[in-house]
Amino acid sequence: MSAVSTLEQSQLPDTLSKLLSSSGTVELLAQLDRELIGLAPVKSRIRDVAALLLVDKLRAARGLSAGTPSLHMCFTGNPGTGKTTVAMRMAAILHQLGYVRKGHLVAVTRDDLVGQYIGHTAPRTKEVIKKAMGGVLFIDEAYYLYRPENERDYGQEAIEILLQVMENNRDDLVVILAGYADRMEQFFESNSGMSSRIAHHIDFPDYNVAELQQIANLMLDSMQYRFDEASRGVFADYLALRMAQPHFANARSVRNALDRARLRHASRLLGNPDAVVDDISLSTITAADLLASRVFNQSQSKE
Residues contacting 60, CB < 8 A, separation 6+ = none
Greatest Cα pair distance in the chain: 85
Q: Is 136 left (phi over 0), alpha (psi -120 to 50) or beta?
A: beta
pLDDT digits (tens, 9 = 90+) for 156-213: 999 999 999 999 998 899 999 999 999 999 999 999 999 999 999 999 999 999 999 9
Please give the CATH architecture assigned to the domain spanning 209-296. Answer: Orthogonal Bundle (1.10)
Q: Which of 11-25, 26-40, 105-119, 248-262 has the highest mean pLDDT?
A: 248-262
Task: Give the model confidence (pLDDT) of 19-57 as tens digits.
Answer: 666 567 778 788 888 878 999 999 999 988 888 888 888
- Residue 11 predicted with pLDDT over 50: no
Question: 0.75 cut: is pTM over it?
Answer: yes
Evaluate whether 14-204 and 209-296 have a shared fold.
Answer: no
8 A C-beta contact, residue 118 and residue 239 = no
Rounded to 10 deg, the angle between the 209-222 and 229-243 helix axes is 130
Residue-averaged pLDDT of the chain: 88
14-204 is a CATH 3.40.50.300 domain: yes
Q: Can you give the residue ranges of every domain in the chain?
A: 14-204, 209-296
Cα(257)–Cα(69) distance, rounded to whole angstroms? 42
Listed range (14-18, 36-40, 214-218) with the worst mean pLDDT:
14-18
